[in-house]
Structure formats: C-alpha cells, structure tokens
Amino acid sequence: MKTISTKEFLEVLPNLTPEDVIVDVREVEEFESEHIPNSLNMPLSTIGKHVPMLQKFKNIYLICETGGRSSYTNEVLKTTGIETIDVCEGLASLREAGLGLATVVRPN
C-alpha cells in the first residue's frame, strides 16, 4: 500500500495534473460540510461502482477524516487492480496544517 503524509501531500497538491484525482471516501454529508477543493466524493459504501472511472487516472489520492476509511478503500481497490495513494493522516491533519477547505452551498 502506498501512503503519503500530510506534509508530502501538501507539497504534491499544487502540482496535480488532469491525470491525478483526489477521492474523498467520506459520506456525502461529511463531504458537503468541508472538503479539499476539486476533490471527488466517492463514499466507501459506493466505491465499487466508481472503478471504471478511477481506472482512467494515473495517481489516485484517497482521503477520509483520519485515515481509516481511506486505508480500507485502498485495500478494496487493490483487489480490482487499481493502485492508490492513501493520505494516511486524513483531512483532520490537513485541517490542522491550515489547508483551505471548501463547502457545498445549497440555495434556500
């Protein structure tokens, strides 16, 4: 399993290309409250249906709140032949490091 620390991820983040994707495996409600800008929400509970889309990317960075779900998703996707990179310390660590996060705004 490939992993990347918060510090390493913050160094990689500004250099991501269209071949790279950040996949947030938290549930929809968690993602909507805050997430990394330009990340995709693919909850662990639905990850299987996203395999064809994920196969198109060169580097897939998985993230959740503290690293547990992303680590598990890494193992699940490995069985499909997809290699991923687990941001092992999660969104909580990125938040502490001062990364600006986005929210989903719903019209009233």
Structural domain including 35 reads: 2-96
Prediction pTM value: 0.93
Confidence category of residue 103, pLDDT binned at 50, 70, 90 = confident
Domain holding 68: CATH number? 3.40.250.10
Q: What is the pLDDT of residues 28-62, one digit of tens each?
A: 999 999 999 999 999 999 999 999 999 999 999 99
In a domain, 30, yes or no: yes
How many CB atoms sit inside 10 A of residue 35's CB?
20
Tell me which amino acid residue 61 is: Y
Question: In this structure, are residues 24 and 36 in contact, taking their beta carbons and an 8 Å threshold?
Answer: yes
In a domain, 107, yes or no: no
